[in-house]
Structure 1
Amino acid sequence: MKIKQELIVTGISLDGFEIPVPEGLSEILNNAGAWVYKEKVEEDGDNPLKDYDRKVVLEDGKLRTYLTYKGKDNLNNF
C-alpha cells in the first residue's frame, strides 16, 4: 500500500546518535515515492545481517558501523 500523505522527516537517529536532517530530504523522499507500507515479517531468513553483530561508534567526528561475523560455522558456505 502506498502512503498518499506527504511525510516530513524531523529527526534521524542511528543507535542513539542523532543525525541532522538535510534540508530537502522530506521533499526528495516524498517525490521519489519512497514511503510504502510493508508489514514487518519476523523471520531470520529475511535479515541478511542475522549472522553479524553491529556496533555504531563515533570516530573522528564520523559515525561508523562495524559488522562482526558471529561464528565460523557458515564460512564454508560461500
Structure 2
Amino acid sequence: MRIKEDLIVTSISLGGYEVPVPIGLSELLNRAGAWKYIAPGSTQKENPLENYDRTVVKENGHYRTYLTYKKPLEKSEENKKVS
C-alpha cells in the first residue's frame, strides 16, 4: 500500500550523528512515491535494488557506493515457444 499523504523529513541521524536535512528532500521523496506502508510482522517481498549492481569503492579517503542499473534481459525470438 502506498501512502497518499505528504510526509515531511524533519531530522536524519546516521550512526548516532545528526545530519542536516537537505532542502527539497521531503518533496523529492514524496514525488518519487518512496513511502510505502509495510505491516508489522510482514516480510518485504520485493527488493528495490534487484535490478542494480552495487559497487563500493574508496576514493580520496571516502567510501562511495555506485549503483548501476542492469537492463532486464529481453526474450529473444529464438527462445519463443511456437506451437
TM-score normalised according to structure 2 size:
0.47
TM-score between the two structures when normalised by the length of structure 1:
0.49
Tell which structure's C-alpha radius of gyration is larger: 2
